[in-house]
Every structure is written in structure tokens, then in C-alpha cells.
Amino acid sequence: MTLPERLAAYHAADGAEEYLDEYTKLHRKISDKRERKLLDRYFERIGSVSTALDLPCGWGRYMPMLRAQGAEVIEADYSGSMVAKVVDVFPNTPLLGRMRCFGHKIPLHDQAMDVVFSMRLNHHLVDPVVRREHVEELFRVSSRFVIFSYFDSASLKNVIRKARTKMGLSKKRPKNTLRRTQVQALAKEAGFKILEDPMLFVVGSGHRLVLAERI
């Protein structure tokens, strides 16, 4: 499937329904539980905030957590169907706004939001330049905190994947990754300090969950 085809499928109404159904699966429930445990810790550390950008919002699974911090939330996603699904799932929840945009081209001014929240997007970005630009945009738009995930190039899962592919044992391509040192450098350049960046799971996942604060 080409990139335009993937984007079109994601934008389609049935794509939003499939994404919603995906989180009924056991492995998704396990990873979601771990993510929420880490995020609860992050939000306790952050305290109250005024505004938050949730990008990509999907069907809004993390929006209640952001609102629990007192934030008025903008729900944003490349998929217009996903943004619409938020209203279907949370019909009585007021939002600061909704918008459709790319993660590396956010139509908001510098430091527009207290918190910028971007879970499980970076590893879907095939172009390494776009992966870097995505992180840069998150830092640009945040006035206080950034929470996001990325796939660590040095993770056990990625190292094994690359080794198996090199030996001809797998036809799967390497994951779309960032180096931990690269993310740390981008944070420093943007005036942020990374407070936490643990692995979601040491075995079975290559994702790191970052909490960074503007200094």
C-alpha cells in the first residue's frame, strides 16, 4: 500500500471504526493499561493545566485524561473521520476545538498550548525527516509540557528485527525509529528538559514515552 493509499484509508469512515475496534483486542488492552499507568504518573507530576492539544486524537481515548487536568482540549488528527468520531463517543464533552492536520505541520502559533500530547504517531511516519519535524513541532507549539511516544532505534525489538532481516529470516522492514540521543538533542535545542522517557516494555515493545518540560 502506498502512502497516499494509507492516508486515504485512515481518513475514511471505516478506518475510524476499525481503529476503535482495535482497542478491544487483548494485546492492545495490555499496552493501553501500561501507557495509562505511566501517563497517570506524568499528569500527577504536571498538575493543573489550562489547554492541551491531543494529536493524533484518534477517537479521543486520552481526551478524558487531559480534561481531568483541567485542560480545555483541541482534538486534532489527520483523519477527519477520527475527529468526528470523538463527538460520537463523547457527545456531551465540550472541546476547545477540533481540527484536521498533519503531526509535523501544526497550524498553531508558537507556545500556543500548555500541553502538547502525541501518542503513537511518530513510529508511523516513514520519512526520517518527517519524524524529526514531528518532534520539533510538538516542542514549538507547547508553552509548558510535551508528552509523546517514539520507537527507540536501540530497543531490543528493533535490534532483533534488523538482525533477522539482515540474516534473511524476515522480510519485515526495520521500524520507523528515532535515536534517544537525537530526541534529547531536539529537546535541548527547543529549550526543553526531558523529565522521563521510560520504555513502554523492555521486551515486546520499542516505544519510549517522553515527558518534557520547557525550561
pLDDT tens-digit readout, 111-144: 999 999 999 999 999 999 999 999 999 999 999 9
Alpha carbon 188 to its chain centroid, in Å, reads 20
DSSP characters for 7-42?
A: HHHHHSHHHHHHHHHHTTSHHHHHHHHHHHHHHHHH
Per domain, the residue ranges of the chain are 3-214
How far is 161 from 177, CA to CA, in rounded Å?
A: 12
pTM of the model: 0.88
What is the model's pLDDT at position 110? 99
Given a cut of 80, is residue 90 above it in pLDDT? yes
Let me know: does 16 contact 77? Beta carbons within 8 Å: no
Tell me how far CA of residue 45 lies from CA of 29, 41, 114, 146, in angstroms: 24, 6, 14, 13
From the list 78, 79, 34, 43, the residue with the least C-alpha distance to 63 is 43
pLDDT tens-digit readout, 155-197: 999 998 888 888 888 888 889 999 999 999 999 999 999 999 9
How far is 67 from 71, CA to CA, in rounded Å?
A: 5
The CATH homologous superfamily to which domain 3-214 belongs is Vaccinia Virus protein VP39 (3.40.50.150)
pLDDT tens-digit readout, 11-34: 566 655 565 556 566 667 788 899
For the chain, what is the mean pLDDT?
90
Percent of the chain at pLDDT above 70? 87
